[in-house]
Amino acid sequence: MTEVKHSHPRGLYVLFMAEMWERFSYYGMRALLVLYCAKQLFAHMDNPDSEAVAVYGSYTALVYLTPLIGGLIADRILGFRKAVILGGILMSIGHFVMAFEQEQVFYLALAFIIVGNGFFKPNISSIVGRLYDEGDARRDAGFTIFYMGINLGAFLAPLICGYVGEQIGWHYGFGLAGIGMVLGLLQFIYGRKHLKERAEPPDADALKHQVLPGVNKEWAVYIGSFLAVFVFWQLVQLHTFVTYMLGTIAALSVLLVAGYGISKCERIESHRLFVALVLIIFSVPFWAFFEQAGSSMNLFTDEFVNRVMFNFEIPASVFQSVNSLFILLYAIPFSMLWIWLAERDKEPSTPFKFGLGIAQVGLGFVCLWYGATTAKDGGQVAMVWLILGYMFHTTGELCVSPVGLSMVTKLSPQRITGLMMGMWFLFTAFANNLAGIIAKFTTGGEAAEAGSGVMAYGSVFGTVAGLAFGFGFFVLVIAPLLKKGMHGIN
């Protein structure tokens, strides 16, 4: 029987609070983004919903693309602590710039958040992995607790920022999200002593080397980061180009990691790296389906779900809190379940958890599809079907996301952990872009092919459910083979 420690490092709770406030800022803005674009920014266009989901898809894709670069820079140059602080500063600027109402300023704000997230998101997750020694059975539980911090912020944000944004003014909601980001950054700076030197630069002396007259390597990174903002200012407006760019980068990254595993790793290390690569690839369908929440499901809720309760119509953006509420309810039970099973050597393997997660997101879309069919004659969808859909998405998420983050830190060679964490987010970026493409089938000409009104959504949701079941079943079938390649790491 495996001996398992139950207490966690104090640094975990520092990271919990910092990530909670950062996620408050991100999800506060996310809850409002597609609705703001559809109802105000693009309201003058012929099909504002279609343009809104395109911007949402490009933005969320780029948000998850930049961690590939930010993780690599932290691994090789800056260290995790400095990278997180840089990312927090850039994101704070972006959220406050978003409070100003002008289209190009809006895109500039998104660019600041995109670049800042690249430094913040992968590296704070990597620090969580560094708090645990190899083989520590608490790691999955630790990531689940960390994931609760993410979702506490994500739960509060739509309730506060969403309500203020829809009922008082869009930019007041965006401004509140900026305050959350500043609080997250201050929390991290204040509690950095509890990280026990596990987030420092790989070579502190190298940061002082001059790369340009009067500019050392550390400041070159900072200056380059601000210059990158102007590149992403343009990219977030180029939806088709982003699609092709992400596909190319994803393919090249697979070849890069595969080549590294073959040429630079020992046999067992190589097998583990390839299992991580396979699971990262299979995270794509999960996130492409799951991330309908902020786009097609958000618009579906606004247009077709009966949101009246006790004679009060709940703003559509507030329903973005439902997923996070279920996370808060289920995260500790899931964490305890994994530890209880680990103590008895019966914990499911990471690949098996992935298969279960993908299948459960399919169940969620079955609920949404059925709700749409009950309202096809002009009625509204009962709120219960939306809530049930979010519930199954949540149980699937708990089998994939915290477990996936933990999997990357366990199976990747330590010298490229940041890069692999960045790759996890790169493929999440590819999935988010794919999510935007899927969402467009509920709008415009694509919707006309599926039907009209609510069934434009229902048809798409039914197709997504079938695909999710197919992917989930396939991963479950190959799970024993992948487990063997992990060589004792569960």
Assign 313 to helix, strand or coil: strand
pLDDT digits (tens, 9 = 90+) for 111-128: 999 999 889 987 887 788
* Residues facing 313 on adjacent strands: 308
Predicted pLDDT of residue 452: 56
* Average pLDDT of the residues of the chain: 87
Pick the residue with more confidence: 76 or 144? 76
Token reading at 86: 């840089």
Other CB atoms within 10 Å distance of the CB of residue 289: 26
Average pLDDT over residues 436-440: 90
Determine phi and psi for 34, rounding to 5 degrees: -70, -35
Report whether pLDDT(363) > 90: yes
Residue 67 CB contacts under 8 Å (≥ 6 apart), including other chains: 117, 118, 121, 122, 421, 422, 424, 425, 426
Split at pLDDT 50, 70, 90, the class of 3 is: very low
Query: Which residues is 381 bridged to in the sheet?
Result: 305
Domain assignment present for residue 99? The answer is yes
Long-range contacts of 275-280 (CB under 8 A, 24+ apart): 275/351, 275/411, 275/482, 275/485, 275/486, 276/407, 276/408, 276/411, 276/412, 276/420, 278/482, 279/350, 279/351, 279/354, 279/404, 279/407, 279/482, 280/404, 280/408, 280/420, 280/423, 280/424, 280/427
Domain membership of residue 4 (yes or no) is: no
DSSP per-residue letters across 271-287? HHHHHHHHHHHHHHHHH
Q: What is the pLDDT of residue 451?
A: 46
Provide the number of structural domains found in the chain.
1
Whether 433 maps to a domain, the answer reads: yes
pLDDT digits (tens, 9 = 90+) for 246-284: 999 888 988 998 898 888 888 888 899 999 999 999 999
- pLDDT above 70: percentage of residues in the chain: 95
Residue found under tokens 């959220």: 95
Surface-to-core class of residue 278, CB atoms within 10 Å of its CB (0-12 exposed, 13-18 middle, 19+ buried): middle
Q: Which of 355, 335, 357, 362 is nearest to 480 (CA)?
A: 355
Q: What is the pLDDT of residues 176-200, one digit of tens each?
A: 988 888 988 888 888 877 776 777 8
Interatomic CA distance for residues 69 and 29, integer angstroms? 23
Cα(413)–Cα(261) distance, rounded to whole angstroms?
A: 10
Distance between CA 241 and CA 223 in Å, rounded?
26
Sign of the CA dihedral with 438 first, then 439, 445, and 450 last: positive
- Outline where DSSP puts E strands in 298-407: 308-309, 312-313
Domain of residue 164, CATH code: 1.20.1250.20
What b/e string do you get for 425-462 counting C-beta neighbours within 10 Å, with b at 16 or more? bbbbbbbbbbbbebbbbbbbebbeebeeebbbbbbbbb
Strand-pair partners of 215 = 212
Q: Give a yes or no: residue 278 inside a domain.
A: yes
Residue 285 within any structural domain of the chain: yes
**The two three-digit tokens of residue 410, written as one number:** 């366990």
Q: 3 in a domain, yes or no? A: no
| Element spanning 426, H or E | helix 417-440
Rg (CA), the chain: 22
Tokens of 362: 């399919």
Q: What is the pLDDT of residue 191?
A: 80
Q: Which domain holds residue 401?
A: 10-485
Whether 208 shows a pLDDT value over 90: the answer reads: no
Report d(CA 451, CA 437) in Å as an integer: 18
Residue 5 lies in a domain: no
Least confident segment among 10-14, 241-245, 418-422, 470-474? 418-422
Helix (H) / strand (E) element for 216: namely strand 215-216
Task: Confirm if 119 and 73 have CB atoms less than 8 A apart.
Answer: yes
Given a cut of 70, whether residue 327 has pLDDT beyond it is: yes
Please state, in angstroms and rounded to a whole number, the distance separating the CA atoms of residues 127 and 409.
Answer: 10
- Establish if 490 belongs to a structural domain: no
Does residue 376 have a pLDDT over 70? no
pTM for the model stands at 0.83
Sort 44 into a burial class: Cβ within 10 Å, 0-12 / 13-18 / 19+.
exposed
